[in-house]
Amino acid sequence: MATLLHLDSAVFPQGSASREITAAFVQAWQGQHPEGTVVYRDLAATPLPHLDFAAVSAGIEDSLRAELASELEAADAVLIGAPMYNFTIPSTLKAWLDQVIVVGHNAGPESPVAGTPVTVVASRGGSYAPGTPREDYEFVQSYLEKVLTGMLGAEVDFIVPELTLARSRPEMAELIPLADASRTKALDDAAQKGKALAARLAA
């Protein structure tokens, strides 16, 4: 049986684009692999403490860091909802990364997490795609790709629903068709990737 570690970090419990897409991924995963396990953490509802001196000094001996690291290592795949807040990831997700990454234990070339597939739903209110005016302000994908591959050796894939604020901002009304198309593609990608990954790990 494969285990999926699912993390959500969007502040809003309802109406969140990233939560909608991660839910679609999980539904597809469970449909393909009903005997599998899903371990869920809502980092917004139950935030982790920021890393402090005591935790850094204790390293993997710290009970919380050991728990989080073990949870990550036990996962066959990871799903992360990472909406863009102020051009980067939510602070709650950064707190999880700071707690779970322990240099000398799971960070480095011999990481026990190496090769683990990580799917990130990187939702954003506008567009930060290559060629757009705000391309240089994109620090969600660029950061997570570097930290997850560079420190943990994970295999990272992104699903990116864009323009999620179009229906709530009058000044973005003309972008609604593009926003709807992006949402539809993200939902399709989540369903296909969730199903394919479950099938791959259950084989």
Average pLDDT over the chain, rounded to an integer:
96
What are the strands, taking DSSP E only, across the chain? 3-8, 37-42, 77-81, 117-121, 155-159
**Domain 3-202 belongs to what topology?**
Rossmann fold (3.40.50)
Query: Whole-model pTM?
Result: 0.96
Q: Which one is predicted more confidently, 33 or 91?
A: 91
Task: Please enumerate, by residue number, every residue annotated as part of a binding site for FMN.
Answer: 16-18, 84-87, 123-126
Count of Cβ atoms closer than 10 Å to residue 144 Cβ: 22
Task: Please enumerate, by residue number, every residue annotated as part of a binding site.
Answer: 16-18, 84-87, 123-126
* pLDDT per residue as tens digits for the range 48-61: 999 999 999 988 99
Judge contact between 138 and 32, C-beta under 8 A. no
- In whole angstroms, how large is the CA radius of gyration of the chain? 17
* pLDDT per residue as tens digits for the range 96-134: 999 999 998 999 889 999 999 999 999 999 999 999 999
User: Residue 152 forms beta bridges with which residues?
Assistant: none
What are 69's two structure tokens? 């690291």
